Each structure stands twice: as C-alpha cells, then as structure tokens.
Amino acid sequence: MTHRDSAQRTLQTEIKGLQAALEQLDEQFDKAAEHLLACQGKVVVAGMGKSGLIAQKIAATLASTGTPAFFLHPSEALHGDLGMISPLDVVLLLSYSGETEELLRMLAYVQERGHVTISMTGDPGSTLAKKTLLHLNTSVPEEACPLALAPTASTTAMLAVGDALAVALMEARDFRSEDFARFHPGGSLGYKLLTTVGEVMRTEALPFVPIDIEPSDLLIRMSEGKLGLAIIGTPNHVEGLITDGDLRRGMVKYGGLAKLDIRGMMTPDPIVVHAKEKIGKVEQLMRQKKITAVLVEEENAIVGVFQLF
C-alpha cells in the first residue's frame, strides 16, 4: 500500500463518518439550536482529550459567528473554574464514549443548578447522552486509525456537527459579513471586511487621456501613471479603459504602435465602484469578472483606481 492509498482510505472512512452524522441528524438538533439561539448567557463547551480539542474549535467558531461561547476544561472546572459558568449559560459536553468521568462530574454540578445541557457523543445509550437534556449522535461506522484507537473519523464528525450548529445559528440570526468583521478586526480578513476602496485607492496623477490621443503619447501617459492602464475620457465622463495588455495585443493586431486603434482596443463602460465599498466585496467582484483594476467614483466623478495584486 502506498502513502496515497493510505490517505485515500483514511479520507473515504472519514467521508463515511460524515455521511453517518448527516443521516443521524434529528429533531434533537433542531431543539439544541433553539436552546442555543435563546441562550441569554454564553455557551460553555467542554471536552477531554481529543474531544476537548474539538470542543475548543466549536467554541471558537460559535464565538466568532455571533454566539457568545467559551471552552472550559473539565478538570480545571472541577478545581475551581466552575465559577466561570453563569446562571444563564447553556452547557455543551463532548465525549465520544459518553462515559468521561470529569464530564459526568461536571454535568452533575450544572444540572443541579438548572442549566440546559446538550451532549455530543457516539453512543446514544451512554450515561452522558441519557442524562443531558438533549443529545446529538455523532457515532461513526469506524475510525480511520488502523488500530481503531486514535480518534479520527469520530472527531471529524463532532467537528462537522459543531460547524453545522454554528452555521444554523448564523442563518437564524441573519449574521452578515459586517457582523463577522466586528469580531475579526485584525489581520487580512478584518482589513478586507472593514476597509473601503476609498481608503486605499490610487488617486495621484490618474492617467486620463482623450479618445483621439496619439498612440505614442498614450504609451508615455501610461508609463507616467505607473498603473499599467489609461482612462479614456475625463473624471466626469469616462469613455473607456485601456490596459498595457490591451496595448500589447493591439500592437500585434494592428501591426505596430503607429497604427493602433484606441476605440477598437479599449474596454468601453469599464466597471466603476463607489469609494465606500468594502475591499472584500470589490475583490470578489474583480475575481468574478477576471479583471485586475476598477475605477472608483465619488460624487459622480472618478477619483481613483483600485487594483488587485
């Protein structure tokens, strides 16, 4: 067996696990989502070992998509951190066996205080599954581990069901990119969601040229502009856009610089976006249109150029 054969078998096994998770979704999932949606506190997500790592990811995904949540390590909870749980919190407990001692002890505490409890296990008949208010079945046919020891397909299924919960809550809340941006102000993601093209567009010495410009003068203006393009027209009346690529193709088509046909080479009615549009939205548009530059307008005049690098 090659390494690739092993990888294919692993992925196929995990796909079967995800298919099982899909088929096991029932009204318990709907009820769990409703309780999480109605939660006036936070969602406390707990798990031990590999399930604990999945619990951390689920808590992080919920928190970043509009559902306040945090991860609580069961052992730490039993040694003082139970005080982090507030009266209005909902508790989500992850254990594939459903028999993890620390989680069962934690469960006893939160049930005594009347918290809504939801479990995610691979055994609907387990102690944890039976004692929580709601249970999400994440059992899988088999683990991808050849020894059937290392959690693989089972943790993938848990993670996927956690993602499904987060997405269901996002949709129920009509959570939008603007909301997402508020939770992700740093890094490239926050930059694209919060920054407008008007804040980063090129505005100096924009290369506006008349439609009847001489080809040699067009080449000079494009070089001076250092944008790899020229705007045919004026800020208040744009007739077209011509790029250095158009220029190269035109020289081949028309047989040299002197014979260039500006009207035949340019892109009429180029795409124009408003200066207040967010970078992420504009970049998505540009990729769809397969272009690398757009004109930016404000108060019905072209005031800049935004380029995708």
Structure confidence by residue, pLDDT tens digits, 165-206? 999 999 999 887 766 766 666 666 667 777 899 999 999 989
Structure confidence by residue, pLDDT tens digits, 207-234? 999 999 888 888 889 888 889 899 999 9
Residues 251, 162 within the same domain: no
- Per the domain annotation, does 192 fall within a domain? no
Compute the chain's Rg from CA coordinates. Answer: 29
Average predicted confidence (pLDDT) for the chain:
91
CB atoms within 10 A of CB 87: 9
Helix (H) or strand (E) holding 301, with range, is: strand 301-307
Residues 57, 155 within the same domain: yes
Domain that holds residue 128: 3-175
Asked if residues 305 and 296 have their Cβ atoms less than 8 Å apart, the reply is yes
User: How many domains does the chain contain in total?
Assistant: 2
Structure confidence by residue, pLDDT tens digits, 136-152? 999 999 999 998 889 99
Residues 170, 233 within the same domain: no
The pLDDT value given to residue 285: 92
Structure confidence by residue, pLDDT tens digits, 251-262? 888 777 777 788
Residues 21, 164 within the same domain: yes
Average pLDDT over every residue of 34-61: 97
The pLDDT value given to residue 237: 93
Q: Confidence class of residue 54 from pLDDT cuts 50, 70 and 90?
A: very high
Phi, psi of 73 (to 5 degrees): -75, 125
What strands, in cross-sheet order, belong to the sheet with 229-234? 208-209, 229-234, 237-243, 267-268
Q: What's the CATH code of the domain at 203?
A: 3.10.580.10
Helix (H) or strand (E) holding 270, with range, is: none
Which tokens in the block code for residue 272?
Answer: 């124009």
pTM above 0.75, yes or no: no
CA distance 31 to 16: 25
- Per the domain annotation, does 180 fall within a domain? no
Residues 267, 237 within the same domain: yes
Which tokens in the block code for residue 171?
Answer: 């949709």
Please tell me the number of Cα atoms within 13 Å of 254 on its side-chain side.
17
On the question of pLDDT at 38 being above 90, the answer is yes
Asked if residues 166 and 61 have their Cβ atoms less than 8 Å apart, the reply is yes
